[in-house]
Amino acid sequence: MILIGILSVARGVFLLFPRLQIRATYLKGTLLLGLIGLAYYILRNDVLETTPIGLRLLLLGGFTLAVIFVLPRGTLSDHQKKTLLEYMDSVIIAGMTALFLIWFVVRSFYIPSGSMLPTLQINDMILVNEFVYRFYRTARGDIVVFHPPQRAQSEGKDFIKRIVAVEGDTVQIKNDKTYINGKPIEEPYRMPVQSRGALEPPGHDFDEEPVTIPPGHVYVMGDNRHNSDDSRRWGMLPSENIIGKAFLIFYPLHRMRILR
């Protein structure tokens, strides 16, 4: 926002004073000061807290190098001003579009634990579509980010799990097997049984009797079934708690892929 504001002011100066002689050195200095302020704000206030510090610094470093090497030297000519204005327009429009998408459509999310192994690794960065459930109903198999119920020990953090059953379904976990409406389902995304964690002892059944999902709720579990705090412990999840559907791993780059 700070950078977009600086570019907007600079663009206004160019438009109000078309024949103003502006040295590129001054423009570079102004933009660099803006970048320093932006870096201080991000690091001090932990903006983009779900983004690794290295990735934040890389982005800021890229902007700084662009300011130093891309802008010309000396006094800007009319042609250079026109070209610079076009670049500013592109950056401002792209920045405002990105901000709109981040706030209303797509959000990034950081994976802090192994509850979704092997689908999601610790430190993965994913994108979450916050708009999709305005048009579509939740479905079995969707990976969703949500505000956990009060009964969950979340410490104010959002959870990410997979929807196993939706409203009207009957779900039962028996002998480490998931039954939906009385029939066992295949779960190829699950962590192998031999990879157990501390949350669930071997052979333990969370649900001895079938449970029917009430309207406006879903039943969620982690893919790492033996090390996940989910609906088996704190019950059904209200659909209104769902933030959005996870659809893409985008960082680290070698793991970039569509989530299914």
Q: What is the DSSP string of 113-179?
A: SSTTTTTS-TT-EEEEESSGGGTS---TT-EEEEPPPTTS--TT--EEEEEEEETT-EEEEETTEEE
Low-confidence ranges of the chain (pLDDT < 50): 46-49, 195-198, 201-205
Residues 128 and 244 in one domain: yes
In single-letter form, the type of residue at position 255 comes to R
Residues 149 and 254 in one domain: yes
Boundary residue ending a domain (104, 135, 150) = 104
Q: Residue 148 in contact with residue 234, Cβ under 8 Å?
A: yes
How far is the C-alpha of 178 from the C-alpha of 194, rounded, in Å? 17
What's the pLDDT at 154?
A: 74
Residues 34 and 127 in one domain: no
Residues 12 and 99 in one domain: yes
Q: Summarize pLDDT for 152-170 with one digit per residue, the tens.
A: 877 778 999 999 999 999 9
What's the pLDDT at 13?
A: 57
What's the pLDDT at 141?
A: 95
Residues 172 and 152 in one domain: yes
Residues 120 and 247 in one domain: yes
7-to-2, 24, 95, 170, 259 alpha-carbon distances in Å:
9, 14, 11, 56, 36
Residues 62 and 174 in one domain: no
CA proximity to 222, closest of 132, 158, 143: 143
Q: How many domains does the chain have?
A: 2
What's the pLDDT at 216?
A: 95
Helix/strand/coil for 184: strand
Boundary residue ending a domain (61, 80, 104) = 104
What's the pLDDT at 204?
A: 46
Q: How many CA atoms lie within 13 A of 58 on its CB side?
A: 5
What's the pLDDT at 203?
A: 42
Q: Residue 236 in contact with residue 213, Cβ under 8 Å?
A: yes
Phi, psi (deg, nearest 5) at residue 205 = -105, 120
Q: What is the DSSP letter of 258?
A: E
CATH number, domain at 149? 2.10.109.10
Residues 83 and 118 in one domain: no
How far is the C-alpha of 236 from the C-alpha of 212, rounded, in Å? 10
What's the pLDDT at 41?
A: 60
Residues 80 and 119 in one domain: no
What's the pLDDT at 260?
A: 85
Q: Kindly list the catalytic residues.
A: 115, 161
Boundary residue ending a domain (71, 104, 137) = 104
Residues 92 and 19 in one domain: yes
Residues 62 and 180 in one domain: no
Q: 89 lies in which domain range?
A: 2-104
Q: What is the DSSP string of 76-124?
A: PPHHHHHHHHHHHHHHHHHHHHHHHIIIIIEEEEE--SSTTTTTS-TT-
Residues 154 and 232 in one domain: yes
CA proximity to 241, closest of 113, 151, 123: 151
What's the pLDDT at 116?
A: 96
Burial of 222 (0-12, 13-18, 19+ CB in 10 A): buried
| The Cα angle at residue 111 between residues 252 and 169, in degrees rounded to 5 | 125
Q: Summarize pLDDT for 58-102 with one digit per residue, the tens.
A: 666 666 666 555 555 555 566 666 676 676 666 666 666 666 665
